Chain A
Amino acid sequence: DTAVSQTPKYLVTQMGNDKSIKCEQNLGHDTMYWYKQDSKKFLKIMFSYNNKELIINETVPNRFSPKSPDKAHLNLHINSLELGDSAVYFCASSPWGTSDSVGQETQYFGPGTRLLVL
């Protein structure tokens, strides 16, 4: 009954490969997010989707492409992986975007995917 789940938990791969990380939430939320946490623990938002529509797209290399097949899923595909992509990637969701969004900005985080590019 995990609220926000991510797979895989760990991902070790070679430079130049393409990989995907999956995220699913069973909270009934309308909005989902991807964050990158670097080695210094700094958290930076990458993307946000509301009901399958992209609403936040920070300055992220276009090798990163989010895909939202439905509002409960937000996957992250990364092409041509580079050493600097090594980080922990967190998915999150929130109820924001419903008819009454005020006060719904609390985000709930998944367990993270630790990506190591060799």
Chain B
Amino acid sequence: AQSVSQHNHHVILSEAASLELGCNYSYGGTVNLFWYVQYPGQHLQLLLKYFSGDPLVKGIKGFEAEFIKSKFSFNLRKPSVQWSDTAEYFCAVTRYNNNDMRFGAGTRLTVKP
């Protein structure tokens, strides 16, 4: 069965620190990859997505992610986090041309001012 793993359950950083959140998936075929963010008490918002092409994807708010096919990974990065980045981050995967989206368990990011 297709699964999505997020290695870090809770990450605590100080402002201006660099961020990398891990995401691995188990499906062997062509996939579409997403990162969503959920600010406290709010709904999920799309940060970025990868369908094809350049494996380094840039999203909103200075986030980027790199798709490494050989490692089945799609890690999220930000060079310098801000207090306002405190949120829950979800990695998600769909198979090619399939709408069944599977989410990782989420990583809670706390940024200390």
Contact = CB atoms under 8 A, between A and B. Distances in A.
Contacts of B106: 41-43
Interface in A1-54: 31, 33, 40-45, 48, 50
Interface residues of A, number: 28
Given A41-B105, A42-B105, A43-B90, A109 B100 contact: no
B46 A108 contact: yes
A62 to B, nearest CB: 20
How many of chain B's residues touch chain A, expressed as a range? 20 to 34
Given A41-B105, A110-B43, A97 B96 contact: no
A74 to B, nearest CB: 14
Contacts, number: 61
Interface string B74-90: 00000000000000101
B103 interface: yes
A39 to B, nearest CB: 12
Among B32, B98, B99, B103, residue most surrounded by chain A Cβ atoms (within 10 Å): B99
B25 interface: no
Contacts of B34: 106
Contacts of A94: 99
Given A41-B105, A90-B43, A111-B43, A106 B100 contact: no
Closest 9 A/B residue pairs (Cβ): A96-B99, A109-B44, A43-B103, A105-B94, A111-B43, A109-B43, A41-B106, A103-B51, A102-B97
Interface of A: 31, 33, 40-45, 48, 50, 55-56, 90, 92, 94, 96-97, 101-103, 105-112
Given A105-B32, A108-B46, 5 more contacts: A44-B103, A45-B102, A48-B99, A94-B99, A105-B51
Interface of B: 32, 34, 36, 38, 42-46, 49, 51-52, 88, 90, 94, 96-103, 105-106, 108
